Amino acid sequence: MNLWLIPIFPLAGFLINGLAGRRIPKALINTVAIGSVLLSFLWVLKVLFSAGSLDTAIGEHYFTWIQSGPIHIGCDFAVDRLTAVMLLIVTGIGSLIHIYAIGYMDGEGGYYRFFSYMNLFMFFMLTLVLASNYLLMFVGWEGVGLCSYLLIGFYFTENFATTAGNKAFIVNRIGDFGFSLAMFLIFRQFGSLDFSQVFNGAAGMPKEAGYGILTTICLLLLVGACGKSAQLPLYVWLPDAMAGPTPVSALIHAATMVTAGVYMVVRSHALFLHAPIAMDWVAGIGLATAFFAATIGLTQFDIKKVFAYSTVSQLGYMFLGAGVGAFSAGIWHVMTHAFFKALLFLGAGAVIHGLHGEQDLRKMGGLYKHMKLTAITLLCASFAISGFPFTSGFFSKDAILSAAYGRAPWIYWVGVFTAGLTAFYVFRAWFMAFTGEYRGDKHPHESPLIMTGPLMVLAALALGGGFINIPRWLEPMFPETGGENPVLVWTSAGVGMVGILLAWVFYVKAPDLPGKFANALGGLYRLVLNKYEVDEVYDALIVRPLVDGSRTVLWRGMDASVIDGAVNGVGARAKGMGAVMRLAQSGYIRSYAAWVVLGSVLLLLAVGLGGAR
């Protein structure tokens, strides 16, 4: 049913805008950019309606991409229930954010460049989601990495933007390295990269107790996922990635790309289910990331940084869900998180837009009366993320937590505590931005309808999105995990509300409390404020040695002496030979011809007479 049309539309948009964008008018650029994404959204809807109940995956084979020896990799797409969810998220949120971006990017330089990159990103993301074998998925995987690099470094004249882009790209390389190793192992193990064959093969294998082949594969996949989804220890690129334009942060670094890791893990659940140890790793890393990032989020003053760390921690939740076997809950959280986190970022974008680029919370405050719509929508999002009852976050987060409780109670408690932290810092940000006195110098104003419109749609989704029961939809793929335990649910919700209350106390009731606390536990506070010095540690431990090593050993030693020496040596020998050979080159064509005739005569003597006998 022509799945290929879904990614093709954005690709076309990318080509049109990227090639002709410099010449065509802005209105046309918008039409192409939005139109392409909307078209693929509509096509997704059409596909899903015509597909009926996707109990089994519907695959389409287009052409054989790589055919060499035993390796047979086709370019084929498949859609099943999981893919359907991801498709709807990507295209739906994507269209909203594209629309929003028209307003946000208005008057920015490189307008067409921005939209062509965005469309390219949509193309790769959809390829990633639709792919039905690991290699094609990897193509999308790398492609979205490329686009995120391009878009983080969108303001390439700023130094921090380019460095942030490089950081994101390089950190992702580590993850991709893991992913590719995993693919090699998978191929070696199952002789194919098609999901269906791999998973059937895995289903035939016993659960592994120790670190067997499956566990290795899963751990390597996990490394890849950590890189893409900013999990410990590879999360460092995501906060810096906020250097890009806010719609990018919303689309790529909150809603879609960073969830690719989760998607990949969930997609490979057949493998993970047979590697319990890997599952534990997933859960552990998820939990650690969630908590860790939440603590950092407490102290940040850059509004986008706050949301970035909350993204990291929410991704941690998703990994936790996947790790404890509640894959459907993880995907559910992917969806709800896409709603409210996109909303958070777009709202933050609206605030920044209204403040002409001001991002520091300390220079905000009292913005409520200036931008009511933004404030209210942001409030909805904050409620949703802090798991306020019957908002979207509430359902998905609690599905995860209760599953975690089924795994081991302490995980649950840490998760709940983290939920409290989340609620606290999100509302901290909200209060600091919208209540109290205006502390800034810029002149704030509300954003145009083209920006607030998507905000409202997303707000509705963030509030009501939880009633879309993803676990039931995914029932045939993932067995329903332990039923809801009301006690647990309300405990976590309660903790969330406590967090909100604390935030209110700290930042509205008694605004001088935070300072006191900071002084009270100064060392710890400063450590957290500096994000645990992780960047510095990485720099000292990894980056410096690499740079120095390559400068001394590889460049001076290897490249300069050995390789250049060899190359020049070869050149010199060739030159010497040529000096001898050129004696034969009289430059007179006819003597060449005579040589040719001589040669052909000899050939004929050899072959002809030989054959004649």
| Among 607, 416, 422, 431, CA closest to 509 | 431
Distance CA 550, CA 417 (A): 44
Q: For residue 445, give the 3-state DSSP assignment.
A: coil
598 contacts another protein (rule: CB under 8 A): yes
Nearer to another protein, 27 or 612 (CB): 612
Parallel/antiparallel/unpaired status of strands 71-79 and 58-68: antiparallel
Shortest spacing between CB 578 and another protein, in angstroms? 12
| Among 119, 98, 93, CA closest to 457 | 93
Q: Which residues pair with 21 in a beta bridge?
A: none
Distance CA 309, CA 298 (A): 9
Provide CB contacts within 8 A for 109, sequence distance 6+. Answer: none
206 contacts another protein (rule: CB under 8 A): no
- 21, HSE (Cβ side, Cα atoms, 13 Å): 23
597 contacts another protein (rule: CB under 8 A): yes
Segment interacting with another protein (CB under 8 A) among 159-167, 379-387, 487-495, 595-603:
595-603
Segment interacting with another protein (CB under 8 A) among 94-102, 309-317, 348-356, 581-589:
581-589
Q: What angle do CA 537, 538, 540 make, to 5 degrees?
A: 65
527: Cα separation from own chain's centroid: 28
Shortest spacing between CB 579 and another protein, in angstroms? 13
Task: Count residues near another protein (CB under 8 A).
Answer: 21
> Under a CB-based contact definition with an 8 Å cutoff, are residues 298 and 528 in contact?
yes
Nearer to another protein, 566 or 597 (CB): 597
Q: For residue 79, give the 3-state DSSP assignment.
A: strand
Segment interacting with another protein (CB under 8 A) among 217-225, 340-348, 502-510, 585-593:
585-593
591 contacts another protein (rule: CB under 8 A): yes
580 contacts another protein (rule: CB under 8 A): no
Residue of 524, 540, 543, 605 interacting with another protein (CB under 8 A): 605
User: Both ends of the chain: CA-CA distance in Å?
Assistant: 64
Shortest spacing between CB 609 and another protein, in angstroms? 7
- HEC profile of 314-376: HHHHHHHHHHCCCHHHHHHHHHHHHHHHHHHHHHHHHHHHHCCCCCEHHHCCCHHHCCHHHHH
Shortest spacing between CB 613 and another protein, in angstroms? 9
> What are the backbone angles phi and psi of residue 364, rounded to the nearest 5°?
-110, -150
Nearer to another protein, 410 or 595 (CB): 595
Q: What is the DSSP letter of 390?
A: T
25 contacts another protein (rule: CB under 8 A): no
Distance CA 28, CA 17 (A): 9
| Among 255, 393, 398, 264, CA closest to 321 | 398
Shortest spacing between CB 285 and another protein, in angstroms? 54
| Among 183, 404, 193, 395, CA closest to 287 | 404
Nearer to another protein, 449 or 596 (CB): 596
Nearer to another protein, 540 or 597 (CB): 597
List the structure tokens of 485.
Answer: 């335990």
588 contacts another protein (rule: CB under 8 A): yes
Containing 63, the helix (H) or strand (E) segment is strand 58-68
Residue of 61, 173, 442, 582 interacting with another protein (CB under 8 A): 582
Nearer to another protein, 357 or 587 (CB): 587
* Bond from prior residue into 233 cis (ω within 30 degrees of 0): yes
Segment interacting with another protein (CB under 8 A) among 308-316, 354-362, 409-417, 589-597:
589-597
585 contacts another protein (rule: CB under 8 A): yes
Concatenate the DSSP letters of all residues of 256-307 into one string: SGGGHHHHHHHHTHHHHHT-HHHHHHHHHHHHHHHHHHHHHHHH--BHHHHH
Shortest spacing between CB 588 and another protein, in angstroms? 5
Binding mask of the shown chain, residues 524 to 563, with x at each position contacting another protein by CB under 8 A: ----------------------------------------
595 contacts another protein (rule: CB under 8 A): yes
Nearer to another protein, 483 or 587 (CB): 587
**Amino acid occupying residue 546:** L
Residue of 521, 558, 577, 593 interacting with another protein (CB under 8 A): 593
Nearer to another protein, 574 or 605 (CB): 605
> What residue has token string 């359902």?
395
List the structure tokens of 403.
Answer: 């599953």
Nearer to another protein, 170 or 593 (CB): 593
Shortest spacing between CB 62 and another protein, in angstroms? 22
Shortest spacing between CB 580 and another protein, in angstroms? 14
Provide CB contacts within 8 A for 354, sequence distance 6+. Answer: 367, 370, 371, 374, 444, 445, 446, 447
Segment interacting with another protein (CB under 8 A) among 222-230, 256-264, 438-446, 588-596:
588-596
- 238, HSE (Cβ side, Cα atoms, 13 Å): 33
Shortest spacing between CB 584 and another protein, in angstroms? 10
Shortest spacing between CB 460 and another protein, in angstroms? 53
Shortest spacing between CB 74 and another protein, in angstroms? 24
Nearer to another protein, 203 or 598 (CB): 598
581 contacts another protein (rule: CB under 8 A): no
609 contacts another protein (rule: CB under 8 A): yes
589 contacts another protein (rule: CB under 8 A): yes
List the structure tokens of 158.
Answer: 């700023």
Shortest spacing between CB 19 and another protein, in angstroms? 24
Shortest spacing between CB 575 and another protein, in angstroms? 16
Shortest spacing between CB 594 and another protein, in angstroms? 5
Shortest spacing between CB 600 and another protein, in angstroms? 7
600 contacts another protein (rule: CB under 8 A): yes
577 contacts another protein (rule: CB under 8 A): no
> What are the backbone angles phi and psi of residue 77, rounded to the nearest 5°?
-105, 155
Nearer to another protein, 1 or 581 (CB): 581
Q: For residue 23, give the 3-state DSSP assignment.
A: coil
> Under a CB-based contact definition with an 8 Å cutoff, are residues 317 and 282 in contact?
no
Residue of 520, 579, 580, 612 interacting with another protein (CB under 8 A): 612
Site of interaction with another protein (CB under 8 A): 582, 585-591, 593-595, 597-598, 600-601, 604-605, 608-609, 611-612
